[in-house]
Structure 1
Amino acid sequence: MTEPRLTSQFRISALQRLTEADGGFATLLHKGDPTSGVILLVGHIRGGNPVLFERYPALDGSLTWHRITQSLVGDETEITKYWKTRTQRDPDLWVLELDVASIERLDGLLATDA
C-alpha cells in the first residue's frame, strides 16, 4: 500500500506561510502542476546570495532538498536563466523564491518540508 503524499500546491502554500510567519518573504515565480509538479526553490539570505534547491527522492523513497550546482550559487542572472530554461522544458515545474534572515532559517524551512 502506498502512503499518501502532499500535493505540490500544498507544499508551496505551506512554505510560503511558514516563511512569512517567520518574517521572511515568499514569491511564486512559476506555477506548476498542482498535484505533482517538481519544485525548485531559490533561497536568499537578506536579499542576497541566491542558492537554488530541488527536491529529489532519497534511497528510502523520501524526498529531500538538494542544492543545485555550486557554480550557480550567488549568481542571480544564471539562476534565473536556469529556472526559466527548466520551465520551458517542464511547464509543470514550480519555482518558489524565499528570502529569509539567515541560512539557519532557510535550512529550518527546508527541513520542515523534507
Structure 2
Amino acid sequence: MMEPRLASHMLVSGLIRQAEAHGGFAAVLRKGDRTAGTILLLRREKGQNPALFERFPSLDGPTSWMRVTIEDIDIEQKTSEYLDRRVARDPDIWILELDVPSAERFTAILAAMN
C-alpha cells in the first residue's frame, strides 16, 4: 500500500518556512503542478556554492533528498543548463532556491521536512 504524501505546493510552502526559520531565504523560481509536481532544490550558502537536490523514493519506505551531481567546471552555467533541460522534459516541475547560512542548516531543513 502506498503512503499518502503531501501535495507539492504544501511541501514547497513548508520548505520556505523552514528556510526562513533557519535564518535563510527562499524563492520559488518556477511553479509546477500543485499536487504532484517534482521539486528541485537549488541550495546556496550565502549566495555561493550552488548545489541541486531532488527528492527520490527509496525502496525501504520514505523518500529522501539526494544531491544531483553536476560538473564543478563553470557550475553556474551547468546548473542553469540542467534546470532548462529538466523543465523541457517535465513542465510540472517546481524549482525552489534556498539560500542558507550553512550546509548544516540546510541539512536540518531537509530533516524537518521528511
Q: Same fold (TM over 0.5)?
A: yes
Percent of residue pairs identical:
49
Unaligned 5+ segments in structure 1 are none
- TM-score between the two structures when normalised by the length of structure 2: 0.92
1:30 correspondence with 2:26: no
Q: In 2, Cα distance between the equivalents of 1:94 and 1:112?
A: 19
Q: How many Å apart are 1:70 and its aligned residue? A: 4.5
Aligned to 1:64: 64
Mark the CA change 1:113 to 1:21 in structure 2 (over 3 Å): closer, same or farther: same
SS in 1 for 2:4: coil
> 4+ runs of 1 displaced by more than 6 Å?
none
**Equivalent pairs, count:** 114
- TM-score between the two structures when normalised by the length of structure 1: 0.92
Equivalent pair of 2:70/2:78 in contact (CA under 8 Å): no
Q: How many Å apart are 1:72 and its aligned residue? A: 5.1
Mark the CA change 1:11 to 1:31 in structure 2 (over 3 Å): closer, same or farther: same
Aligned to 2:51: 51
Mark the CA change 1:55 to 1:94 in structure 2 (over 3 Å): closer, same or farther: same
Aligned to 1:21: 21
Equivalent pair of 2:26/2:98 in contact (CA under 8 Å): yes
Aligned CA-pair RMSD = 1.6
Q: In 1, Cα distance between the equivalents of 2:45 and 2:67?
A: 15
Equivalent pair of 2:40/2:94 in contact (CA under 8 Å): yes
Equivalent pair of 1:49/1:73 in contact (CA under 8 Å): no
Mark the CA change 1:91 to 1:103 in structure 2 (over 3 Å): closer, same or farther: same
Q: In 2, Cα distance between the equivalents of 1:106 and 1:36?
A: 23
Aligned to 2:40: 40
SS in 2 for 1:84: helix
SS in 2 for 1:41: strand
SS in 1 for 2:35: coil
Q: In 2, Cα distance between the equivalents of 1:34 and 1:10?
A: 8
Q: In 2, Cα distance between the equivalents of 1:73 and 1:56?
A: 26
